[in-house]
Structure 1
């Protein structure tokens, strides 16, 4: 019959072979315990906290062209009256709306000389544009000044309070109030679909975007200057997914074992170096070095 005691790797050293305890060993042991405790609770806190993990994949849904994207636009035009400001929407599916008014609001500024345009509308999930212009105005103003300040431009659900890194409101704070009055402004945006999913399975659909800007002069077929603010967009097939989840328990267990084993090994090595060095100096003092 096999004696299981042969496999015991934790055999005790006889008391008569042990070194007497020292103050140095006690200090190192206390520091080791403190360090292990600190790292253990740090790892425990990290395990109990939720982390955000990101991944990329190619969107392949066949029904994407039928989906809508919510757009939140707030823009201030300090030198154009609200009666002239309008929103036009176009896309590659043939949509062409001039003077879109649903879910829009105009706030008069500067005693009627300026306007803040706020709107939430939906666009098709295909390349297109929306632009702020005077095309829908009943009476065209004599001077059209499209200098502006973008307070907000977001696509999809609002994820600003979730602490995610990314360009969800890239054009916020864009200041074009000190430009030539006759210029048109164009922002070309590359939109990246973004999905956020928490640990309860709740999903939010948002869109990050990058932008490039240019200004130019725009003429009507009558020869008159017709400046506007264009927001042209195209969709990226790559989707970014953020997931908020907790680490696996085995990862936490592995880290704890590494903390305890590594700290004890390093502490033993430090004590061994100190003990050997002090023993060497004691022999040197009494002249027993060979």
Structure 2
């Protein structure tokens, strides 16, 4: 059983993990840029970035931190010295998560959208020069389990649009943070709940037994009267 309640969150930065397949773009052109309202503007972040060729495209994996202010990060060709011959950014987001990485079993058990973009593929369009925009609303969360394990992941919801822009196409993730934290606390059911259930089961058993006993007695009396000719 989980109970939700608002609480405060004092962490200074949020870890982002992303894996995205850009289906028609060579790895050499792709990079991740990070911007926020505190003045951060990082083009071509390289730490903890892994790019793997996939057929004609690229699987782009990255892990980085963002400040707790509105901002964005985007997968683009802006940091590449050599520009590609096309701008097709059709993609599949394999996963995008914020904060602590949850074990799959925990993610499946706890309600919430901790990986809302999982396996989302962008729309098919004939216009390859499309920019893709995801607008994310991030909600801090805390999970506490009876086992003593605790996690601080972030849930998020998203809205999506695409358009033909004036600049090189990109995949944008624009984020804003909720001021409220949601806490999930696993609790044992109180002992009186067990007693109530136990009494309900016992009471139900006696009720059914009484009905059956009454039916047997009535049937027996009927046949007894029939044997001695007292029916009617």
Aligned to 2:143: 196
Partner of 1:276, secondary structure, is: helix
Question: Structure 1 or 2: larger strand share?
Answer: 2
Q: Secondary structure at the match of 1:83?
A: helix
Equivalent of residue 247 in structure 1, options 181, 189, 194: 189
Return the offset for 1:90. 1.3
- SS of equivalent to 1:99: strand
Which residue among 44, 47, 54 is the counterpart of 2:3?
54
| Structure 2 counterpart SS, 1:98 | strand
Tell me whether 1:280 sits opposite 2:222 in the alignment: yes
Tell me by how many angstroms 1:83 deviates.
1.7
Equivalent residue, structure 2, for 1:71: 16
CA-based RMSD of the aligned residues comes to 2.1
Report how far residue 177 of structure 1 moved.
6.9
Partner of residue 151 from structure 1, selected from 83, 89, 94: 94
Deviation readout 1:15-61 (Å, 9 max, x if unpaired): xxxxxxxxxxxxxxxxxxxxxxxxxxxxxxxxxxxxx313132x445
Tell me the secondary structure at the aligned position of residue 198 of structure 2. helix
Structure 2 equivalent of residue 28 of structure 1: none
Show CA shifts across 1:180-207 (max 9, x none). Answer: 3100001112222221111143310111
Distance 1:231 1:74, change over 3 A: same
Q: TM-score, normalised by structure 2?
A: 0.88
Structure with higher Rg: it is: 1
Measure the CA separation in 2 of the matches of 1:171 and 1:241.
22
Q: Structure 1: where are the runs of 5+ without partners? A: 1-51, 221-225
Displacement of 1:237 after TM fit? 3.0
The alignment status of 1:256 with 2:198, answered yes or no, reads: yes
Rate the CA distance shift 1:276–1:185 in 2: closer, same or farther, 3 A. same
Q: Is the 8 A contact 1:84 1:137 kept in 2?
A: yes
Aligned mates of 2:227, 2:87 — CA distance in 1: 96
Equivalent of 2:176, from 215, 225, 234?
234
Corresponding position: 1:184 with 2:131: yes
Equivalent pair of 1:149/1:177 in contact (CA under 8 Å): no
Q: Which has the higher helix share?
A: 1
Q: Which residue of 2 aligns with 1:128?
A: 71
The Cα offsets for residues 192-246 of structure 1, whole Å up to 9 and x where unpaired, read as 22211111433101112221111011113xxxxx111011122223333222332
